[in-house]
Amino acid sequence: MLTESYFVSVAGPPLANNTAISKDVGIYEHTLHPSHSTTSTFKKSSIPRNCLAVSDTHVFAAQEEKSTVHVYSRAKSNPEAFVNFPERIRSIALQDDVLFLGSQEGKLIIWEICTGRQVITPACHVQAVTCIAATPYHLITGSDDSNIHVWSIPRLLELDSTIEHEPQETLSNHRAAITSLAVGQSVNPDTNICVSASKDKTCNIWNYQLGIALRTLLFPSSPLCLSLDPCARAIYVSSEDGSLYAIDLFAEKALLGPQSAEESSTAIQVSSAFGATPQEAGPASCMALNYDGTVLISGHPQGQILRWDLSSRADSTELANINASATNIVFVSPLPSSRPTKPVAVVKPFLGSRGYNFTSQLETDMIDDTRFSKMLKSNGLPQDALEQAILAFQAPAEDAVGDQELRKENEELWEVVKEQRTLQQKTLQRYLETKSANS
């Protein structure tokens, strides 16, 4: 059975003298399925919003009001490294083996955790970079200056030091600080979307590769955080007044795509919430969807971790109380990673140009699987055997009657050829005899 886990971080001191909860725990790992439980804890961290990232092997936590990132080993549940950066860190995001950090001064810091290579861009934002979202090919940064930048990850990782690091697109429809970002994982330029939340009481839906605003959503109060459905079908938003909103993008009245009845410039007023957080918990400061998008987990300033069943839209149930302000929730995929390498230990970052050593652990064999090993590992019939069978069914059937007729015609033609050769030999023989008699 697959197990689904998520990480929760806290900031600030304990809210009450609860002896059942350790005072110095900063990160909790919880198992959601098959039954909820606390799997492990990571100590000595105070983590602000948008400053937690989790990989298969490590947990990265930027510290509140500091320029330090704590790196924890998931296998050992203890600190592996304390990494200092030139500026105070306000947001982080992890993509494969690269950690992206947004600074207080508006700069972007890139750290390759397997080589230690570090790249720092010029101040791309006028104010602090408060949130970051990443895809395999693009990085999206939001700032207190109300602007959103779209970056090309391959260009940011370019080894040529003379290349200028500039954003690919700038999205500037908001009029106040950006509070949250979420991005879909589609690689199609026509269907990938990004959603941004701002203190101007709006959420914007973007085609971020083309730099086009697809829709503006208006809320009664400022949205604090948002989460995008895994298939980019819906958006879930938490606002300052404690309301939770669910916006279906492709319902009967679709907001996006060719089925949308309104122009993209038309703003949509969102007024009906699907749920409200308990008054004693406070508005959700962070939220995340599970792998299949059926459960929403929200974290609150008073320490409550609530579960919302999206299929029934029933009232929330409390999963845990961590006795401190919850700031981040990050889900871990229940499916094993398909990457060929796994970083066992991080390499601390350094500035300057030098040779880089890639430090990682191979997860697969260097040679290709044999046909026999593929058949052993496959569930049911192997894919190549199925394809051969399908091709055999698609091939035209042989016509037995037609083949017999062709064979008979060939035999008759060969008999005619043999008769002609015999006649030719007899004629040549008579010609030679007549020629010799005359001579």
Q: Are strands 268-269 and 212-218 parallel, antiparallel or unpaired?
A: parallel
Residue type for position 183: V
Residue 359 has pLDDT above 80, yes or no: no
Nearest to 272 by CA among 322, 223, 219: 219
Distance of CA 166 to the CA centre of its chain: 23
> Measured between alpha carbons, how far is 272 from 153 in angstroms, rounded to an integer?
38
**374 or 29, higher pLDDT:** 29
Q: Tell me the per-residue pLDDT of 226-256, one tens digit each, with 9 for 90 and over.
A: 999 998 889 999 999 999 999 998 888 888 8
CB atoms within 10 A of CB 166: 13
From the list 171, 92, 98, the residue with the least C-alpha distance to 131 is 92
User: CA 149 to CA 172: how far, in whole Å?
Assistant: 9
Whether the pLDDT of residue 352 is over 80: the answer is no
Q: Which of 64, 83, 78 is nearest to 12 (CA)?
A: 64
The Cα 245–Cα 235 span in angstroms is 8
First to last CA, the chain: 105
Give the torsion sign (CA, 177, 181, 187, 192). negative
Give per-residue burial for 352-364: e unless 16+ CB within 10 Å, then b. eeeeeeeebeeee
Name the band, by pLDDT with cuts 50, 70 and 90, for residue 320: very high
Q: How is 358-421 classified by DSSP, letter by letter?
A: ---EE-S-SSPPPHHHHHHHSSSS-HHHHHHHHHHHHSPPP-HHHHHHHHHHHHHHHHHHHHHH
Mean pLDDT of 272-285: 90
Residue predicted with more confidence, 212 or 400: 212
Specify the pLDDT at position 72.
Answer: 95
Where is average pLDDT lowest: 155-164, 220-229, 286-295? 155-164
CA distance linking residue 214 with residue 202, whole number of Å:
13
Average pLDDT, the chain: 88
Provide the β-strand partners of residue 103: 89
> Has this prediction a pTM greater than 0.75?
yes
Q: Is the pLDDT of residue 366 over 70?
A: no
Phi and psi torsions of 345, nearest 5°: -140, 145
- Compute the average pLDDT of residues 304-310: 93
Contact 204, 171 (CB under 8 A): yes
How far apart CA 366 and CA 353 sit, in angstroms, is: 30
φ, ψ for residue 227, nearest 5 deg: -140, 140
pLDDT exceeding 90 applies to what percent of the chain? 52
